[in-house]
Structure 1
Amino acid sequence: MTIRGIDVSSFQPEQYDTGGLAFVFVKRTEGMGYTNPRASAQVAHGRASGLVIGHYHYPRIHDGAAADADYFLGRLGADLRPGDILALDWEWNGQTGVSNAEADAFKDQWLARARQKAPGHRIVTYADRSNWLTVDQNSNVGDGLWIADYVTAGKPRIKAKWLFHQYSSNPVDQDVANFADQAALRAWANPAAKYQPFPGASWFTTGRRSPIVAAMHDRLVAVGCNHYQSSRNKDVIGPGDIASYEAWQRKFGYSGQAASWPPGPTTWAKLHVPNV
């Protein structure tokens, strides 16, 4: 099962279409001399739309990996938040004199530098199919591979395990992520989080099956809001979850429509559902 996203750069507007999307990767920097002037606004727009945020860097191989990584990270500022993903756009089009060995070593060194400077963040590597198959020698991609291959979404022509697949550039760069839903992506992106991030009100649909639902069930029972008939299929959203969560919201003084399903971010944060 996959979820949809896009990646944007200065060629896209600040207020891009987020309909049906779960994530966005925003180009931040290129080499040590370019910063996307729209990046902060594009990140803010994606965050306001409830998307998981990724930040990516296009390298200049001859700059050196540490210097390139430092330039990228130094320009994220307050835009970088827990749960954001970092990405190396491992390409070097038009850069003369770059050998395959040099490009491969750059990748490994850049990933190590980013890990050192930004601990706690997932770091992935974007590669087109050609570079992945002919230049990469050790399959080191950090926390995951973001593969570009313009074929059917979710079916890139590689054998390696991938997390993100860029399958089209029309009308924008379009991607899918190999996660069951946005909540699963959000939890993966923030492994240090003690509690499950709020997955968004639209996530709480009757019949949804997820370990997050089971964890919520257990917490509602633990805090004395047990309106369940049984604990069978406790990982599936049903009427017991709705009644139990509405009881939890009433505990905080909410009433009427304000206390009704679905959950909101304030009461969800206070429920302390463990990150599963």
Structure 2
Amino acid sequence: MGIYGQDWASYQSATPDTTGLSFAFVKVSQGLTYTNPEWTTQRDHARAAGLVVGYYHYPEMANSAQQEADRFLSLAQPPNGELVCLDWEGYDSANESVDHAAQVAYKDAWLRYVKGRLPHNPVGLYCNTEYWQSIDTTGYFQDYLWIATDGLPAGQPGISANWLFHQYADSGGADQDYCHLGSTGELRSWAASFAPAPAPAPAPAGPPWPGEYLRLQSPMLHDDNVRTWQQRMNDRGWALTVDGWYGQQSDSICRQFQQEKGLTVDGIVGPASWAAAWADPVT
């Protein structure tokens, strides 16, 4: 059980082989100045292959977490249903002088800020077991943890935390990743679950037109449809006797109402005049 994916940066092909993959994470940015020149092509390639797409940022943790996050978000602009991740590691020259407490503070600040900006996307943390077990002090990874190990089988990262992704190998020039969910569809559904629920369809403004034209006629029309319309007009503030008879008073009120609402003034309660009786604004 489980599904497989990869993570791509500029040193991978712009169009990697996606055979057997369910997801791909694409590096978008690093620090405040670097942008992966291949990221949009890699993103489009992953989408075209039907993969679940994620985006990641590599930090330079002497900088402001918010400034780096703002730049990353201005580039990535992920739609609902796609993932965002912080690649939290600091083995390079830009991060080696940043003490571990500051690195942890950066991590927490970046994740919280990005989640505030993207409440409807999964926001998570990538790190290796050394960073997770020896440097992290808060256990905070927001929505998901992507853990990296070296030499352990896929799906066995060797930690007790509730991880979702496992980077388990480097093969064929690309990092190999595993997700413990059962299918591409399950991962896609999980990611989509962060999006807001669709707004319910508006309830009908009132009862449907009964299919009967209410009009002044001889013999005089008298039924419950007339009574329903009279009651509604009365509720709207029109001085109309509710008796079920469509007489001169009903005809007069209907014409006045039609004039006010810009309808055809004919004294006949057809579909438009009936619907207007239940529509806002109430007058």
Give TM-score, length-normalised by structure 1.
0.68
CA distance in structure 1 between the aligned counterparts of 2:44 and 2:114, rounded to whole angstroms: 23
- Cα displacement string for residues 226-262 of structure 1 (whole angstroms, at most 9, x for unaligned residues): xxxxxxxxxxxxxxxxxxxxxxxxxxxxxxxxxxxxx
1:190 corresponds in structure 2 to 192
Amino acid at match of 2:177: D
Q: CA deviation at 1:96?
A: 3.0
Question: How far does residue 55 in structure 1 lie from its aligned partner after superposition?
Answer: 0.2
Return 5+ residue gaps in structure 1 as ranges: 196-276
Aligned residue in 2 for 1:170: 171
Matches of 1:176 and 1:145, distance apart in 2: 12
Q: Structure 1 residue 52: deviation in Å?
A: 0.1
Counterpart of 1:86 (choices 81, 84, 87) is 84
Query: What's the counterpart of residue 183 of structure 2?
Result: 181
1:30 and 2:60 are equivalent in the alignment: no
Distance of 2:57 and 2:75 partners within structure 1: 11
- Which residue identity lines up with residue 39 of structure 2 in the other structure? A
Shift of 1:193: 5.9
Asked if the contact 2:59/2:68 (under 8 Å) is kept, the reply is yes
> Which amino acid in structure 1 is aligned with residue 7 of structure 2?
D
The amino acid of 1:32's aligned partner reads L
Does the 8 Å CA contact 2:59/2:88 hold for their aligned counterparts?
Answer: yes
What residue in structure 2 maps to residue 152 of structure 1?
153
- Superposition pairs of residues 18-57 of structure 1, within 5 angstroms: 18-57=18-57
Q: Which residue of 1 aligns with 2:225?
A: none
Post-superposition offset of 1:153: 0.5
- Cα distance, 1:81 vs structure 2: 1.8
Q: 1:112-142, CA deviations, whole angstroms, 9 ceiling, x for partnerless residues?
A: 1101112201001001110000011111001
3-state SS, counterpart of residue 178 of structure 2: strand
- Alignment identity in percent? 39
Question: How far is the alpha carbon of 1:58 from its aligned partner?
Answer: 0.2
Matches of 1:152 and 1:76 in 2, distance apart?
31
Matched residue SS, 1:57: strand
Partners of 2:96 and 2:51 lie apart in 1 by 37
Q: Tell me the secondary structure at the aligned position of residue 75 of structure 1.
A: helix
Corresponding residue number in structure 2 for 1:96:
96
Answer with 92-101 or 121-130: which moved more: 92-101
Cα distance between partner residues in 2 of 1:8 and 1:96: 24
The answer for the alignment partner of 1:215 in structure 2 is none
Whole-Å Cα distance in 2 between the matches of residues 103 and 190 of structure 1? 30
| 1:152 aligned partner, one-letter code | P
**RMSD of aligned Cα (Å):** 1.2
Show structure 1 runs of 4+ deviating over 6 A. none
Once the two structures are TM-superposed, the CA of residue 97 in structure 1 deviates from its matched residue by: 1.8
TM-score, normalising length from structure 2? 0.66
SS of the equivalent of 1:13 reads coil
